[in-house]
């Protein structure tokens, strides 16, 4: 049996544990496409043993490398990738909601695909946990906790921009864990008057407001400038948490969830269940559903 695994879209902490578990089970039968769909299109396919060993199983990043590959949507490149994918008995695709579409299309064209959610964004439909999420949240929480003492020393306020692309999961979870004073999850909640009042209230009480802002809503520096203008004081600072959210060491929960996703994927391969998504339900139990 020949198995192919690839990480599509971005990397996510915990992906290496997933790779390790698949390798541990199927050893030299496992291959990877270098940098996801890009390597699949170009036929850059190598034994997984070349990049994985037990020393990598707890590390962030992804040993197979990852890449965005918008070209894969075009028939010409998709068909190139399809030819390589068809040579495998099972193709495992780790990624977010965009990658899921690629996995589904490969399945519709005769490839035995299994999709596994791997993205810090936690943006996969019907899925309550994707590999990378808890580490991304942990890193953002660290950033807030390590920044606020200094913000507070000056009685300033701080806007923290967290990743999540178009999804508010990270923003909401971080806001909950740090007990934020306000969260901007979408255009509607980008309410300057509310933010100004929250900041002022804290300032009057000799304290400092912490506000969590989801990326891709508005430029965070511009939000701060506008608030400073409204307040008539230069007290609103900004902190972009950024890629530390992807680069942080996987949490215990991450490693445990990645292992659970891998075990279920192995079960699907052994029982020849393909054209499926291996997901996590609201209790974080692993479930298997067909592509939508
Ligand atoms: O999809 C994961 C993610 O980290 C998003 O949260 C973010 O919008 C994007 O990738 C950033 O991508 P890059 O690091 O390539 O700029």
Percent of the chain exceeding pLDDT 90 equals 98
Residue 286: band (very low, low, confident or very high) from pLDDT cuts 50, 70, 90: very high
Nearest protein Cα to ligand 1, atom 12: 10
What average pLDDT does this structure show over 36-55? 98
Name the nearest CA neighbour of 140 among 183, 99, 98: 183
Residue 31: band (very low, low, confident or very high) from pLDDT cuts 50, 70, 90: very high
With a 6 Å cutoff on the Cβ, whether 172 touches ligand 1 is no
Residue 283: band (very low, low, confident or very high) from pLDDT cuts 50, 70, 90: very high
pLDDT for 279 equals 98
With a 6 Å cutoff on the Cβ, whether 163 touches ligand 1 is yes
Tens of pLDDT along 60-111? 999 999 999 999 999 999 999 999 999 999 999 999 999 999 999 999 999 9
Report field, pTM of the whole predicted structure over 0.95: yes
Question: Cα 2 from chain centroid?
Answer: 27
- C-beta of residue 10 within 8 angstroms of C-beta of residue 117: no
* b/e 243-271 (16+ beta carbons within 10 angstroms → b): ebbbebebbebbbebbbbbbebbbebbee
Tens of pLDDT along 167-209? 999 999 999 999 999 999 999 999 999 999 999 999 999 999 9
With a 6 Å cutoff on the Cβ, whether 243 touches ligand 1 is yes
């Amino acid at each position: 049996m020949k198995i192919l695994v690839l990480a599509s879209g971005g990397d996510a902490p915990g992906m290496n544990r997933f790779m390790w578990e698949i390798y541990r089970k199927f050893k030299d039968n496992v291959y990877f496409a270098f940098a996801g769909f890009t390597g699949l299109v170009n036929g850059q396919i190598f034994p997984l043993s070349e990049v994985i060993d037990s020393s990598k199983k707890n590390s962030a990043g992804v040993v197979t490398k990852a890449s965005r590959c918008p070209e894969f949507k075009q028939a010409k490149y998709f068909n190139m990738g399809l030819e390589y994918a068809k040579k495998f008995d099972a193709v495992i695709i780790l990624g977010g909601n965009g990658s899921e579409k690629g996995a589904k299309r490969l399945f519709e064209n005769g490839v035995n695909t299994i999709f596994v959610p791997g993205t810090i964004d936690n943006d996969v439909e019907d899925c309550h946990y994707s590999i990378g999420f808890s580490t991304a949240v942990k890193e953002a929480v660290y950033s807030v906790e390590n920044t606020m003492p200094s913000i507070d020393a000056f009685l300033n306020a701080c806007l923290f921009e967290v990743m999540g692309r178009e999804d508010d999961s990270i923003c909401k979870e971080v806001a909950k864990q740090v007990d934020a004073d306000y969260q901007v999850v979408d255009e509607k909640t980008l309410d300057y008057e509310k933010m100004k009042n929250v900041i002022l209230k804290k300032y009057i009480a000799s304290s400092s407001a912490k506000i969590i802002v989801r990326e891709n809503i508005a430029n965070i520096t511009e939000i701060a400038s506008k608030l400073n203008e409204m307040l008539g004081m230069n007290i609103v600072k900004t902190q972009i948490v950024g890629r530390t959210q992807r680069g942080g060491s996987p949490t215990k929960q991450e490693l445990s969830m990645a292992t659970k996703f891998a075990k279920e994927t192995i079960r699907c391969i052994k029982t020849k269940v393909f054209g499926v998504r291996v997901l996590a339900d609201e209790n974080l139990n692993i479930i298997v559903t067909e592509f939508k």
